[in-house]
Amino acid sequence: MTEIQGNTQKMYKRKTQSKLLVFTGGAALLAVAVNLAIVAICKRKKKKELPGFELRPNLSASEILNLADKIIAKSKKVHDAVASVPPNKVTYSNVISPLADLEAEQFPLVQSCVFPKLISTSDDVRAASAEAERRIDAHAQMCSKREDVYRVVKAFSARGEQTSAEQKCFIQCLVRDFERNGLNLTTSKRKELLRLRVQIEELSLRYIQNLNDDGTFIPFSEAELDGLPKEFFESLDKTENGKFKVVMRSHHTAVVLEHCKVGTTRRMVAMAYGKRCGEVNLSILENLVHLRHKFARLQGYSNYADYAVHYRMARSSAKVFEFLENISDSITDLAAKELASLKNLKKQEEGESPFGIEDLLYYVKRAEDQEFNLDFVTVKQYFPVSLVLSGIFKIMQDLFGLRFEEVIDAEVWHYDVKLYSVFDLNSGELIGYFFLDLYTREEKYIHTCVVALQSSALLSNGTRQIPVALLLSQLQNDVDGHAGLMRFTEVVNLFHEFGHVVQHVCNRAPFTRISGLRLDPDFVEIPAQILENWCYESVSLKLLSGFHQDITVPIKDEVCESLKKWRHSFSALKLKQEILYCLFDQIIHCAENVDIIELFKHLHSKVMLGLPMLEGTNPASCFPCSAIGYEAACYSRVWSEVFSADIFVSKFRGNLLNQHIGLQFRNKVLAPGGAKEPIDVLSDFLGREPSIQAFIDSKAEYSL
């Protein structure tokens, strides 16, 4: 039945499409024949005027480069004007407003130039977009180092004039961003700071490059890889003498460590994986850490960790330690229980050989297979893309008091892409827009993510700029009447990313620099992490699911229950492992001259309940998190997860579709965004300070 319906629908579509083609073809020809001006008029008429929409979603390569140059010229003009204000004449309206308005107006234009790099189907457009980004970035870098502008801003801030809390917050950000570039230092120190930054960037890149270049592999016979899925064998290259090559990359090692029945193979793989880039990257990391401490001391901090954490929710490295240690201590008993059950399982399967860190993934998988009877191939049959989407729409609209409406004939960059307007359900006010670009396509950015294309701002003439978000993902579209199906993890990811869409669109912060998704990194993930919970509760999971051949058949209650248990299975042990890396990262960025190898050995055994580090491995040499991007901030993921759990349990569990609470969350947490301290935002919503207890309890609740 569904098959036939699908086909007729397709035929119907094809017919109307070809009619349209004929019609536009004819119209275009006619227009060209009569007068070129008519083409322009027709085009303008066809393109819908969207209120508050400043973005230009489908520019050509030359338009992108022209716009980039215009942006830079305008920005330079405004910065020059601000810099020319004499320090004794500075006012809010001649210094702060022009900078704030400039950022707000230029953000959607900058994004119009830069985001086509991620999604355009044209090579020329992507190249132009990358070039535009390079030019705009170079300009922005230069502006952020302009001493003349800094002096004027600082002069205003030093006057201590009465401003609103949001304005104060914005001014602090302006000053801080300049000062983090060394603008309040002497010239020689500033030069030293910039020199250090360049060195740090070079070393970070080299560390990553070494890992990327590593081509180590181990040849194994079929018997040595017993237990691996058949498709995996088929995907492996072979050596001359017919052995299978397992390369030391996570897409191979993870499969072996999870599925291979042969203990010695797992051990060899775990060892070789943990030895990658050995001495070289270790010495790079030592150097990096040393330079980072120097960098932080130039700015008046006693170590790099304090510099990195200062403006985050955690505020100080001491607080991070206290947090990690509290969590680690409170899950020790649970983790020990989990480990004991894994050891037991190994004894049954392999006899008396000692349990090592290389056995962890394999026995977790074995235990889960025994425990849950969860067949993810079957689970997938319950998640057709269109049904999941309509479920997400329903939940987000009901919960947060929103209405989504598709914009027909919107200007887009590919015919799969859709644009939606978002209205407040009660007032009918238009509050933002979002694009969905969901399906895989060649040359498209490969990660699932949300990009802010236009951000909330209040211009000085009273105009409010509304947010525009773009959600990118890699789903399978329906093919030949067969519904595209989603893996469960994809459902969770999509829900998470939709959380960011709603977060961005509901934000009302008045300055682009602190609005939308430009929030404290310890805080920005919290709303989306909270929303992931909806994927594990049967009330909401049923709204997201239905058997693909008969969507009225929802996913079974037992499956919902199993998914929830699966989410928490062995989570204390997994968390211990994450905390191990977080502690390592925090310690090396806190103290000078730490013996990195000894530290890791010591921490490993202490945090992992006596499990030793694998002999000869060197996790610090192949642990990019602490080398680049997240240095001294690895804790951040655990941090936000802990507070997400608190909010979910205290406010939303049992109230999954409660609009009253959803609206409170929207108004108190999503709307203010970066214009308030995150801790105050959360406390205001919770009616008390956030706590780690709910998180600990949730681990215990689902323990074996």
CA distance 238 to 265: 17
CB atoms inside a 10 Å sphere around CB 236 = 17
Largest CA distance in the chain: 89
Q: Which does 670 bind (CB under 5 to 8 A by kind): Zn ion, ligand NAG, none?
A: none
Q: Which does 528 bind (CB under 5 to 8 A by kind): Zn ion, ligand NAG, none?
A: Zn ion
Binding-residue pattern over the window 389 to 408 for ligand NAG, x denoting contact by CB under 6 A? --------------------
Q: Which residue is nearest to Zn ion (CB)?
A: 528
List of long-range contacts for 590-595, beta carbons under 8 Å, 24+ apart: 590/303, 590/304, 590/305, 590/306, 590/317, 590/632, 591/303, 592/290, 592/293, 592/303, 594/289
CB atoms inside a 10 Å sphere around CB 344 = 13
CA distance 609 to 544: 40
Query: Rule CB under 5 A: is residue 682 a binding residue for Zn ion?
Result: no
Of 323-362, binders to ligand NAG (CB under 6 A) are 323, 326
Of 517-546, binders to Zn ion (CB under 5 A) are 525, 528
Query: Rule CB under 6 A: is residue 62 a binding residue for ligand NAG?
Result: no
Binding-residue pattern over the window 557 to 576 for ligand NAG, x denoting contact by CB under 6 A? --------------------
Q: Residue 406 catalytic?
A: no
CA distance 447 to 474: 7
Count of residues in the chain = 704
Query: Rule CB under 6 A: is residue 184 a binding residue for ligand NAG?
Result: yes
* Residue indicated by tokens 């409660």: 658
Identity (one letter) of the amino acid at 667?
N
- How much of the chain is in helix, strand and coil states, percent to nearest 5? 65, 10, 30
Query: Rule CB under 6 A: is residue 413 a binding residue for ligand NAG?
Result: yes
- 181 neighbors 279 (Cβ within 8 angstroms): no
Among 497, 525, 532, 578, the active-site one is 497
Q: Which burial class, exposed, middle or buried, applies to 664 when counting CB atoms under 10 A from its CB (0-12, 13-18, 19+)?
A: middle
* 60 vs 97, beta carbon nearer ligand NAG: 60
Of 24-32, 321-329, 377-385, 675-683, the window that binds ligand NAG (rule: CB under 6 A) is: 321-329
DSSP labels, 581-628: HHHHHHHHTTSSS--HHHHHHHHHHHHTTTPPPPTT--GGGG-HHHHT
Query: Rule CB under 6 A: is residue 271 a binding residue for ligand NAG?
Result: no
Q: Where are the alpha helices (DSSP H) in 35-115?
A: 36-46, 61-83, 97-114
CA distance 383 to 528: 20
Query: 98, 278, 521, 624: which one contacts ligand NAG (CB under 6 A)?
Result: 278
CA distance 85 to 75: 16
Of 431-470, binders to ligand NAG (CB under 6 A) are 459, 461, 463
- 190 neighbors 224 (Cβ within 8 angstroms): no
* 402 vs 696, beta carbon nearer ligand NAG: 696
Shortest Cβ 528–Zn ion spacing (Å) = 4
Shortest Cβ 449–Zn ion spacing (Å) = 8
Shortest Cβ 656–Zn ion spacing (Å) = 20
Query: Rule CB under 6 A: is residue 280 a binding residue for ligand NAG?
Result: yes
Q: Which does 81 bind (CB under 5 to 8 A by kind): Zn ion, ligand NAG, none?
A: none
Query: Rule CB under 5 A: is residue 218 a binding residue for Zn ion?
Result: no
Of 33-41, 143-151, 272-280, 398-406, the window that binds ligand NAG (rule: CB under 6 A) is: 272-280
Query: 147, 161, 177, 179: which one contacts ligand NAG (CB under 6 A)?
Result: 179
- 475 neighbors 135 (Cβ within 8 angstroms): no
Q: Which does 416 bind (CB under 5 to 8 A by kind): Zn ion, ligand NAG, none?
A: none
Query: Rule CB under 6 A: is residue 176 a binding residue for ligand NAG?
Result: yes
Shortest Cβ 325–Zn ion spacing (Å) = 26
Q: How many residues bind ligand NAG (CB under 6 A)?
A: 26
Positive or negative torsion for Cα 243, 249, 250, 251: negative
Q: Among residues 170, 227, 189, which one has the least CA distance to residue 369?
A: 227
Binding-residue pattern over the window 642 to 681 for ligand NAG, x denoting contact by CB under 6 A? ----------------------------------------
Q: Among residues 204, 179, 192, 303, which one has the least CA distance to residue 630?
A: 204
* List of residues contacting Zn ion (CB under 5 A): 525, 528
> Annotated active-site positions, please?
497
Residues making contact with ligand NAG (CB under 6 A): 58, 60, 105, 176, 179, 184, 210, 213-214, 277-280, 299-300, 322-323, 326, 412-415, 459, 461, 463, 692
